[in-house]
Chains A and B, each alone.
Chain A
Amino acid sequence: MSTTTEGSTRRGKKPVGQRAAEWTDPRLGLYKLAKSNLRKIFPDHWSFMLGEICLYSFIILILTGVYLTLFFHPSMNEVVYHGPYAPLQGVRMSEAYASTLHISFEVRGGLLIRQIHHWAALIFIAAMLVHMMRVFFTGGFRKPREINWLFGWTLLFLGMFTGFTGYSLPDDLLSGTGIRFADGAVLATPVVGSYLSFFLFGGEFPGHDIVARFYSIHILLLPGLMAGLLTAHLILVFYHKHTQFPGAGKTEKNVVGMPLLPIYAAKAGGFFFLVFGVIAAIAATVSINPIWTMGPYRPDQVSTGAQPDWYMGFSEGLIRVMPGWEINAWGHTLVLGVFIPLMIFPVVLAAIAVYPFIEAWVTGDKGEHHILDRPRNRPVRTGLGMAWLSLYFVLLIGGGNDLWATHFHLSLNWITWFVRIGFFVVPVLTFLVTKRICLGLQRRDRDKVLHGRETGIIKRLPHGEYIEVHEPLSQEQRHVLTAHVQPEPIDPGPEVDENGVERKINPVSKVRAKLSRGFYGENGQIAKPTVEEYEEITSGHGHH
């Protein structure tokens, strides 16, 4: 490395690439970094590519977003429209709205880029949600990856707000209604609500500042934070190495898969173009947020069917189904109908954020985990995840209640009541059903290990009995079904001490022991077959 002075090979000069590398390496030290990282192993599983979908749609968002900034004017100054779209001729509107019309109808490729940007945003957040649920259901958040869970969670949260500020920018009737909604939420904050609102909008709603403020938040603040967090997120994935599903040859100490270079990188690069292709194809054929049909925002106008983008739909649902309660006291009004939903949102978000820590505390699990759980083997966690998803879905129904009403010929009031009751009932039912299903699957796994796979072949025995032939599993398959650890619930110790006197157990540990029994007690998991059981069955009478 240090003797690069003469620089002459067989045909005079070294190849350019080599020379470039030799120039940069002593200065940047890339070689060492690359050597240790480029051979990192990545396991293959479709669900491990969800994070990649997030990453690529984020990149697409940045690229298309930059193009849009070239033509968008974040100003609320009033202009009169004289562009090519006839139904808006002569209409007064903000410059922000006019420039979005300009992008849509006059800038070359503008409409396509706008549509790619918006579709990518929807897909980005959808992919983040599914990625998060993948990590959740497989226990990918356990030690040592809790911090990365928090990074990811923050990305999801920021992603939602980037989306919200983004669709508020064009200042059309729909986005204005969305800002109005946010203003309502701000106003419902006790005591300081109206001050906050004045501060946010620089005066009385809608004011003249909000678009410009949202603009810098949307294009600078949030994407900047997200880019940083995303990098940290990926560095941690590299540092921890990827988790893997249980399987033959996979242990807590190794990673089985493809090296980053060349195979994984080639696949990932190809995947980027596929993601881009899918989003571009949708954007080229399907309209999204056709702001020209909505008209400019005016506080005195509103349209039916005014919903936010899907990822904010739950908040719309919360508000729509919440009874309009109010408390009037001391000359102030506390709008519970908005304030309670406003509080549910952060509580649910926070619950998701701290879940890894709660689970570790409840189960007393302090170990490192690099092998993922099969969701069925952790029925309580899987049940909780499904319960939260069902809650989310119920709220989405509430957010789109008018469309459910018109498209399925239902009464709006019925749907509202369904959502109000469902908010409390559906998650509980989902939890119970999911847990049941998981336990059933565990039981089936156990049967499969002990008695083999049902082949569907029916055999008639000499004495006339019919039996189904069971084929024993391969060793690999048995490994997958039995590799998981089945933890014991925490034992809070005996209720009474050796003298028969009631022991004082601190109530917190009592709750903890109870929860832990819920997770891993006899109702929480089905004992997997032991070696003895297996041997007894296989050595003895075999199949029955």
Chain B
Amino acid sequence: MKKLSARRRHPLAALVVLLLALAVTGGLYAALAPAPKAQADDSAQSLAIEQGKKLYSVGCASCHGTSGQGSSDGPSLVGVGSAAVDFQVGTGRMPAQQPGAQIPKKKVIYDQAEIDQLAAYIASLGPGPAVPTKDQYSPTGADAGKGGELFRTNCAQCHNFVGKGGALTNGKYAPTLQGVAPKHIYEAMLTGPQSMPSFPDSTMPQDTKADIIAYLKEVDSSTSKNPGGLSLGSIGPVSEGLVAWVFGLGLLLGIATWIAARTTKAKKS
């Protein structure tokens, strides 16, 4: 231990750490990023790409261009990776419909197999972040406390402290994160949809992403009970003030009216 901490201060230590970090990210990248050509020979894979291409030309090409190069109605999809497709189509954002301030979530119209095929096709256009595996995004064993801290530092300014969502400028909004599947949370961080920044593994390592997912699971009011009673949407003091006025003072004024009416009226009749 002593030795290590002494070496940590060595002038070359920073360089070593940097090289190590580079090697690790590089290795990870090689392992995770779909290597387009090498695997394309795999027959199952190429079949999926083939199918995905068909689906793509029917449902997506009108906006994203015949080969994903983009058009005036949609950005280029070259290099967005399978994670982006799985998120966008899996949460029902894509295919987009009418233009607006922000493309909303809708009913998912593709089944998972079709989404995988679409993702495989887009991934074949250029390297990009891949759909995470279950042990990457699973919250089991992750540290919800740490996740909470990370969430408040990186996400709460848009999504509120328990992920209830909030407003952004010009009609845009950060949606609620309640009930969003862990895989989609992971992918959102990885790809940064629309006005959300992306949090690639270089700035937010995999296990901290799982910590955040664990935190969001803990505070999801649809699964965990709020010790204080009705949570009023967990949106802070505005809804509390409304309740104080409408139910608190409203009820008390009703009672006051009732008491005041009791004597004077009773006397008269």
| A interface residues, Cβ below 8 angstroms from B | 44-50, 52-53, 81, 86-91, 104-105, 111, 115, 119, 122-123, 126-127, 130, 173-174, 258, 263, 267, 270-271, 274-275, 278-279, 282, 284-290, 292-295, 298, 300-311, 313, 399-403, 405-406, 409-413
On whether A88 and B255 interact (CB within 8 A), knowing A287-B226, A305-B236, A406-B166, the answer reads: no
Q: Does B249 contact A (CB under 8 A)?
A: yes
| B interface residues, Cβ below 8 angstroms from A | 101, 143-149, 152-153, 156-162, 164-171, 173-174, 215, 218-219, 226-232, 234-245, 247-249, 251-253, 255-257, 259-264
**Shortest CB–CB separation between residue A291 and chain B, in angstroms?**
10
Residue pair A53, B240 in contact (C-beta under 8 Å): no
Across-interface contacts of A284 in B (CB, < 8 A): 229
Across-interface contacts of A278 in B (CB, < 8 A): 248, 251-252, 255
Chain B: which residue is nearest A114 at the CB level? B228
Give the docked Cα–Cα distance between A293 and B162 (Å). 6
Chain A: which residue is nearest B176 at the CB level? A406
**Shortest CB–CB separation between residue B172 and chain A, in angstroms?**
8
Can you list 10 residue pairs at the A/B interface with Cβ under 8 Å?
A88-B148, A90-B143, A123-B249, A293-B234, A306-B236, A310-B242, A399-B238, A402-B166, A403-B238, A412-B167
Chain B: which residue is nearest A404 at the CB level? B167
User: Quick one: which of A105, A258, A274 contacts B263, CB cutoff 8 A?
Assistant: A258
Across-interface contacts of A300 in B (CB, < 8 A): 153
Residue pair A287, B230 in contact (C-beta under 8 Å): yes
User: Quick one: which of A275, A309, A405 contacts B167, CB cutoff 8 A?
Assistant: A405
Residue pair B255, A274 in contact (C-beta under 8 Å): yes
Residue pair A294, B259 in contact (C-beta under 8 Å): no
Residue pair B240, A310 in contact (C-beta under 8 Å): yes
Residue pair A46, B253 in contact (C-beta under 8 Å): yes
Residue pair B144, A295 in contact (C-beta under 8 Å): no
Across-interface contacts of A308 in B (CB, < 8 A): 237
Give the docked Cα–Cα distance between A541 and B156 (Å). 76
User: Quick one: which of B159, B169, B242 contacts A413, CB cutoff 8 A?
Assistant: B169
Residue pair A411, B101 in contact (C-beta under 8 Å): yes
**Shortest CB–CB separation between residue B173 and chain A, in angstroms?**
5
Residue pair B170, A87 in contact (C-beta under 8 Å): no
Residue pair B160, A44 in contact (C-beta under 8 Å): no
User: Quick one: which of B170, B219, B235, B261 contacts A305, CB cutoff 8 A?
Assistant: B235
Give the docked Cα–Cα distance between A289 and B245 (Å). 16
User: Quick one: which of B161, B231, B234 contacts A295, CB cutoff 8 A?
Assistant: B161
Across-interface contacts of B252 in A (CB, < 8 A): 53, 123, 127, 274-275, 278
Residue pair A412, B169 in contact (C-beta under 8 Å): yes
**Shortest CB–CB separation between residue B126 and chain A, in angstroms?**
34
Residue pair A105, B145 in contact (C-beta under 8 Å): no
Across-interface contacts of B248 in A (CB, < 8 A): 119, 122-123, 126, 278-279, 282
Residue pair A46, B166 in contact (C-beta under 8 Å): no
Give the docked Cα–Cα distance between A105 and B226 (Å). 12
Residue pair B148, A87 in contact (C-beta under 8 Å): yes
Since A122-B240, A292-B227, A310-B237 are in contact, a sample of 10 more A-B pairs with Cβ atoms closer than 8 Å, ordered by chain A residue number, is: A45-B260, A86-B144, A90-B145, A90-B146, A123-B252, A275-B252, A294-B161, A295-B148, A298-B152, A410-B171
User: Quick one: which of A91, A311, A313 contacts B145, CB cutoff 8 A?
Assistant: A91
**Shortest CB–CB separation between residue B163 and chain A, in angstroms?**
10
Among A46, A290, A303, A305, max chain B CB count under 10 A is at A305
Give the docked Cα–Cα distance between A89 and B145 (Å). 5
Residue pair B244, A46 in contact (C-beta under 8 Å): no
On whether A310 and B241 interact (CB within 8 A), knowing A88-B145, A90-B145, A173-B161, the answer reads: yes
Across-interface contacts of B160 in A (CB, < 8 A): 303-305
Across-interface contacts of B259 in A (CB, < 8 A): 46, 49, 267, 270-271
Give the docked Cα–Cα distance between A303 and B167 (Å). 11
User: Quick one: which of B241, B262, B264 contacts A309, CB cutoff 8 A?
Assistant: B241
Give the docked Cα–Cα distance between A409 and B170 (Å). 11
Give the docked Cα–Cα distance between A227 and B119 (Å). 68
Chain B: which residue is nearest A409 at the CB level? B171
Chain A: which residue is nearest B214 at the CB level? A87
Residue pair A310, B245 in contact (C-beta under 8 Å): yes
Across-interface contacts of A173 in B (CB, < 8 A): 152, 156, 161
Give the docked Cα–Cα distance between A391 and B12 (Å). 64
Across-interface contacts of B238 in A (CB, < 8 A): 305, 307, 310, 313, 399-400, 403
Across-interface contacts of A287 in B (CB, < 8 A): 226-232
Give the docked Cα–Cα distance between A119 and B196 (Å). 36
**Shortest CB–CB separation between residue A58 and chain B, in angstroms?**
14
Chain B: which residue is nearest A270 at the CB level? B259
Across-interface contacts of A305 in B (CB, < 8 A): 160, 164, 166, 235-236, 238
Across-interface contacts of A401 in B (CB, < 8 A): 167
Across-interface contacts of B264 in A (CB, < 8 A): 44
User: Quick one: which of A90, A105, A123, A295 contacts B152, CB cutoff 8 A?
Assistant: A295
Across-interface contacts of A279 in B (CB, < 8 A): 248
Residue pair B256, A46 in contact (C-beta under 8 Å): yes
Residue pair B256, A303 in contact (C-beta under 8 Å): no
**Shortest CB–CB separation between residue B244 and chain A, in angstroms?**
4
Residue pair A301, B171 in contact (C-beta under 8 Å): no
Across-interface contacts of A267 in B (CB, < 8 A): 259, 262-263
Across-interface contacts of A87 in B (CB, < 8 A): 144-145, 147-148, 215, 218-219
Across-interface contacts of A88 in B (CB, < 8 A): 145, 148
Chain B: which residue is nearest A279 at the CB level? B248
Across-interface contacts of B257 in A (CB, < 8 A): 46
User: Quick one: which of A47, A90, A123, A304 contacts B157, CB cutoff 8 A?
Assistant: A304
Give the docked Cα–Cα distance between A309 and B145 (Å). 27
On whether A405 and B164 interact (CB within 8 A), knowing A44-B264, A111-B228, A115-B228, the answer reads: no
Across-interface contacts of B243 in A (CB, < 8 A): 282, 286
Residue pair B153, A403 in contact (C-beta under 8 Å): no
Chain B: which residue is nearest A172 at the CB level? B161
Give the docked Cα–Cα distance between A309 and B169 (Å). 23
Residue pair B218, A86 in contact (C-beta under 8 Å): yes
Chain B: which residue is nearest A403 at the CB level? B238
On whether A53 and B256 interact (CB within 8 A), knowing A88-B148, A278-B248, A411-B101, the answer reads: yes
Across-interface contacts of B149 in A (CB, < 8 A): 91, 295
Give the docked Cα–Cα distance between A305 and B167 (Å). 8
Residue pair B165, A313 in contact (C-beta under 8 Å): no
Residue pair B237, A403 in contact (C-beta under 8 Å): no
Across-interface contacts of B234 in A (CB, < 8 A): 290, 293
Across-interface contacts of A49 in B (CB, < 8 A): 256, 259-260
Across-interface contacts of B249 in A (CB, < 8 A): 53, 123, 126-127, 130
Give the docked Cα–Cα distance between A9 and B161 (Å). 73
Give the docked Cα–Cα distance between A293 and B168 (Å). 22
Residue pair A122, B241 in contact (C-beta under 8 Å): yes
**Shortest CB–CB separation between residue B52 and chain A, in angstroms?**
34
Give the docked Cα–Cα distance between A53 and B259 (Å). 13
Across-interface contacts of A258 in B (CB, < 8 A): 263
Give the docked Cα–Cα distance between A313 and B236 (Å). 12
Across-interface contacts of B219 in A (CB, < 8 A): 87, 293
Give the docked Cα–Cα distance between A89 and B143 (Å). 9
